[in-house]
Amino acid sequence: MKSFCNYIKSIVLGIWNLLLGMKITMLNFLRPKITEQYPENRGKQVMFERFRGSLTMVHNDKNEHGCTACGICQMNCPNGTIKIVSSMIEDAETGKKKKVLDKYLYDIGTCIFCDMCVSSCPQQAIAWSTEFEHAVFNRSKLVKQLNNEGSTLKVKEKSAPKTEVA
């Protein structure tokens, strides 16, 4: 008798769960549909702030970037999306050799948008933009140079040495 009661109880519980699932399905079926008219509303479409669309190099109004060509982002990239080309130059004032960024190449076709490069950059020289249209006809167009031609390294101004007046 006890197993028969459990059998009836499981049937009633199964029907209840089926009706509960059908209720959710019917509510979604009756809800009004919203269709995005994507190509037409391109100007109105705004992506949310945390969206990882494309890697960009932060430049200030003087066209200076903060990248020191240290290569940490290139080392942390799990699939070789970032390639840094740098050269050594001699500083005229101090005579010391300094690494300078020549090209910062970013292949968006192989990027997995993992954020390891941005989070590991000690200078905060790269950031994510909300650009999301990346369709091209040729894969070579997916490789972008992030540092602008003619952009320079942002040099921190040294404070003048304090002189004591006796």
Q: Which two tokens stand for residue 138?
A: 């040729």
d(CA 8, CA 50): 51
> For the domain bounded by 54-153, which CATH number is listed?
3.30.70.3270
Domain boundaries, the chain: 1-33, 54-153
Q: Give strand pairing partners of 82.
A: 106
CB 116 within 8 A of CB 153: no
47, containing H or E segment? none
- Which tens digits make up the pLDDT trace of 50-101? 899 999 999 888 888 899 999 999 999 999 999 999 999 988 888 888 888 9
For the chain, the distance separating the N- and C-terminal CA atoms, rounded to the nearest angstrom, is 107
**pTM, entire model:** 0.66
Residue carrying the six token digits 């080309």:
85
